[in-house]
Structure 1
């Protein structure tokens, strides 16, 4: 009987502890979890299950590793907020699979993403044909973001562009500049014309339909 009481109490304890840990690690939807998030969540869950199944094991043998994983995950999240390179290393970067209606096979091969994957995810979004897609972006979470073509006679003239970040956290993204056929020098010159001389002070910058969107870092 004592074992059953211990199991019930341990279940309630670890349920509360896991809720606390996940709350401390921040709110993220399941589809937005990175590989690192998923690994940490699985490890924490497995530790809790083992501790509940083995009531004779000291609690601190499980609680300490769980709290350690929480601290490591919070530390990595803080580092990723301050370093885009580290964020790209951990989470990866979005890839444009369909660009202005044209499939980028090179990007698909790089992501080991095949046409069956593409068609499956398009069908999940109620899109029957690739011909209806203007842009398709494979997010770092593995989900597919889709922008459909406009279905009117003036679609070609009115079709907007996709927002591609050129500066994130004060760092110029040369890869995205290449996607819009622009250079690092061009971007710096254009920013100077608008009074922005220090790129490091810019939190976010994108260029769409001939216009810049610029957001400065909080002072």
Structure 2
């Protein structure tokens, strides 16, 4: 039992590290090579988890080899455009200037039903509203409607609106002070304690969330009493 537990934990940690090395991707956004790598690693890890007769190293070595190969190919694709196109492919235009590119759809085995479904999911029910539709390497469909079908922007409407979008920085997260963020904002613990005093809070442990935006505005949410 202990052997199974320890082997599972070690393999799990190894796979988590490997996935982190691949970058922040959702499953639907994986490139073909990344998807193949994910499937192969999951299969390789399941064998030593179930068969105790197989040395754990026999699972580690293939997984580490695949991860090293993936990192090498990723670096190579960064510096070589031809290799990147070979490994990842290239986006395909399925609708160009409102015209469906039937040959491109056949080449990518993308049916008309799938195209209409993708357009409906993005809020478009009429093909005539679309100027461009591009099938990305990840399999996602990027849709660009005609200008007349796009919502007007403040610039197009001639409105002079001040840009007040700011990026709040989390200083307290569920009772824990994020010292790195506090320093990045040019504040210290004494300033933070002063803000808590103004909110009639005695300690950071009583705070669920406290943020500071670029304009110096503080937003504070107290913890709810445990029921």
What TM-score, normalized to structure 1? 0.65
Secondary structure at 2:131 match in 1:
strand
Match of 2:78 in 1: 81
Is residue 146 of structure 2 the alignment partner of residue 115 of structure 1?
no
CA distance in 2, matches of 1:44, 1:30: 14
Secondary structure at 2:125 match in 1:
coil
* Deviation for aligned residue 1:10: 1.1
CA distance in 1, matches of 2:36, 2:26: 15
* Deviation for aligned residue 1:22: 1.4
Q: Deviations over 1:86-127 (max 9, x none)?
A: 111111110111111111112112222221111111122121
CA distance in 1, matches of 2:79, 2:45: 32
CA distance in 2, matches of 1:124, 1:53: 41
Which of 136, 148, 153 in structure 2 is aligned with 1:151? 148
Secondary structure at 1:27 match in 2:
coil
CA distance in 2, matches of 1:148, 1:26: 31
CA distance in 1, matches of 2:64, 2:40: 12
Which of 31, 46, 50 in structure 2 is aligned with 1:49? 46
* Deviation for aligned residue 1:29: 2.6
CA distance in 1, matches of 2:53, 2:103: 55
Radius of gyration: which is bigger? 2
CA distance in 2, matches of 1:55, 1:123: 50
What TM-score, normalized to structure 2? 0.63
* Deviation for aligned residue 1:128: 0.7
Structure 2 stretches lacking a partner, 5+ long: 157-227
